[in-house]
């Protein structure tokens, strides 16, 4: 991506951080405050929409909290997903690693400012399709797109035409509730998304959105009332509080899944399919390659633990239909470190591969909380297994039934016994039939 491009419609240049795969925040706080004050009416509209739909959202949330983990859930293979990026000469290696995970669902980004590379993106989409991967394209925007809607619509039309035959859908916009991504209030996003909705009728594509990042679900009711999406998406990071079971202002990851689905349903006026299209934990010690600083950065072992725990909490809830890990190869957060040749597999790579192997095709049947920990029980191929861990102090647990095998987070089989030391590292226990 070009490191810097002029934003002719605004005061600040668009500047891309190639190391962390995100824009730099070039607008100063004073300018952002000025904009927010000038557009105070949009925030009043947000408040009004949430007041109108708040009652329904609260009822849906209460229902979700009662029913999540209470009903069987088939863990389909297509519920696991990993994002990738075109890698030029390294594409063969990247796609080989993707296949090794056992995941068949993927996503790659197409920036609006790289229209001249659409032919290359089309070739990448064709390659993914030929290799048996179902792909979603995430369309990235910048400030200039807001002020030049005709050019935005023209770009979308060409992207839909070129990529549409090879992909399963398009996520419209990206993390737009962060000003560094070029959109400064929800009405600007609605205008961009409506352009995509208009083209959907002529190009016959599937739309995913609105791709809000982090815990800002109040944006869903007004946006979903204005634009209809086939799938409702969120970029739901919980890295600021460490483990997914930790609370942010009282909200754990599982509570966030419940409120996300509730507000999506109240806004859409129907029970939508909900996806998490981006999540990761950035890695400590990766310097400028990390997309965050300070507390969100964790060690590689913690990242692997949190990946498994987050995905099991999400996919067994009955509320989240798919989770995409962002992304396969990245120095600061990826499943593999692509600064090395060949790319070095991190612990999270083996953790994902093992989880996909163990749980694809399984039916989640119940959740138990031994000593405050987690034991998620599944049935698969006529046998029962459990995924177990704790976010608290380690403890020994007696299952009280014959154990056929114990599988470590990374796929190694350990000595079978009815008693297991449960800690933060997820393990799989297969019971004798």
pTM above 0.75, yes or no: yes
Identify whether 353 is part of a domain: yes
Residue 37 has pLDDT above 90, yes or no: no
Average pLDDT over residues 129-141: 98
What are 95-117's pLDDT values in tens digits? Answer: 999 999 999 999 999 999 999 99
Picking from 338, 360, 382, the residue at the C-terminal end of a domain is 360
Identify whether 68 is part of a domain: yes
Identify whether 216 is part of a domain: yes
Same domain, 95 and 135: yes
Same domain, 345 and 372: no
Average pLDDT over residues 37-50: 68
Burial 175-214 (b: 16+ CB within 10 A, else e): bbbbbbbbbbbbbbbbebbebbbebbeeeebebbbbbbbb
Identify whether 22 is part of a domain: no
Identify whether 5 is part of a domain: no
In angstroms, the CA 193 to CA 187 distance is 10
The CATH number assigned to the domain holding 269 equals 3.20.20.80
> Residue 266: enclosing H or E segment and its boundaries?
helix 253-268
Picking from 330, 360, 390, the residue at the C-terminal end of a domain is 360
Identify whether 418 is part of a domain: yes
Identify whether 29 is part of a domain: no
Residue 32 has pLDDT above 90, yes or no: no
Average pLDDT over residues 286-312: 96
Same domain, 239 and 311: yes
Q: Per the structure, how many domains does the chain have?
A: 2
Same domain, 290 and 350: yes
Identify whether 140 is part of a domain: yes
The CATH number assigned to the domain holding 381 equals 2.60.40
* Residues 256 and 238: beta-carbon distance below 8 Å: yes
Domain residue limits at 376: 364-431
């Amino acid at each position: 991506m070009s490191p810097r491009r002029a934003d002719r419609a605004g005061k600040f240049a668009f500047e891309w951080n190639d190391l962390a795969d995100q824009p730099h925040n070039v607008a100063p706080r004073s300018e952002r405050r000025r904009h927010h004050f000038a557009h105070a009416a949009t925030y009043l509209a947000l408040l009004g929409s949430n007041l109108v739909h708040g009652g329904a959202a609260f009822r849906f949330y209460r229902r979700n909290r009662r029913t999540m983990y209470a009903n069987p859930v088939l863990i389909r293979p297509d519920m696991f997903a990993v994002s990738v990026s075109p890698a030029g000469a390294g594409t063969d290696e990247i796609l080989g690693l993707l296949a090794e995970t056992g995941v068949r669902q993927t996503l790659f980004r197409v920036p609006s400012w790289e229209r001249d590379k659409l032919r290359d993106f089309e070739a990448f989409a064709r390659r993914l399709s030929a290799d048996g991967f179902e792909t979603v394209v995430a369309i990235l925007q910048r400030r200039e797109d807001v002020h030049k809607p005709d050019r935005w619509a023209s770009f979308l039309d060409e992207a839909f035409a070129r990529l549409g035959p090879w992909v399963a859908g398009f996520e419209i916009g990206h993390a737009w509730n962060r000003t560094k991504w070029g959109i400064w209030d929800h009405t600007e996003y609605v205008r961009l998304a409506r352009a995509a909705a208009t083209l959907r009728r002529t190009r016959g594509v599937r739309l995913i959105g609105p791709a809000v990042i982090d815990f800002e679900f109040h944006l869903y009711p007004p946006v979903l009332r204005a634009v209809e999406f086939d799938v409702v998406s969120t970029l739901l990071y919980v890295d600021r509080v460490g483990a997914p079971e930790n609370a942010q202002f009282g909200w754990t990851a599982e509570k966030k899944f419940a409120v996300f689905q509730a507000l999506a349903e109240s806004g859409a006026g129907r029970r939508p399919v909900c996806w998490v299209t981006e999540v990761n934990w950035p890695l400590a010690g990766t310097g400028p390659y990390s997309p965050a600083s300070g507390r969100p950065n964790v060690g590689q072992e913690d990242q692997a633990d949190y990946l498994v725990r987050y995905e099991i909490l999400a996919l067994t809830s009955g509320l989240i239909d798919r989770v995409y890990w962002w992304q396969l190869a990245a120095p600061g957060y990826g499943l593999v470190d692509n600064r090395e040749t060949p790319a070095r597999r991190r612990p999270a790579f083996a953790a994902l591969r093992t989880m996909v192997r163990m749980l694809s095709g399984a039916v989640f049947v119940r959740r138990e909380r031994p000593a405050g920990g987690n034991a998620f029980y599944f049935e698969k191929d006529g046998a029962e297994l459990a995924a177990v861990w704790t976010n608290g102090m380690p403890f020994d647990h007696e299952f009280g039934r014959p154990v056929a095998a114990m599988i470590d987070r990374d796929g190694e089989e350990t000595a079978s016994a009815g008693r297991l030391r449960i800690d933060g590292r997820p393990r799989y226990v297969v019971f004798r039939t």
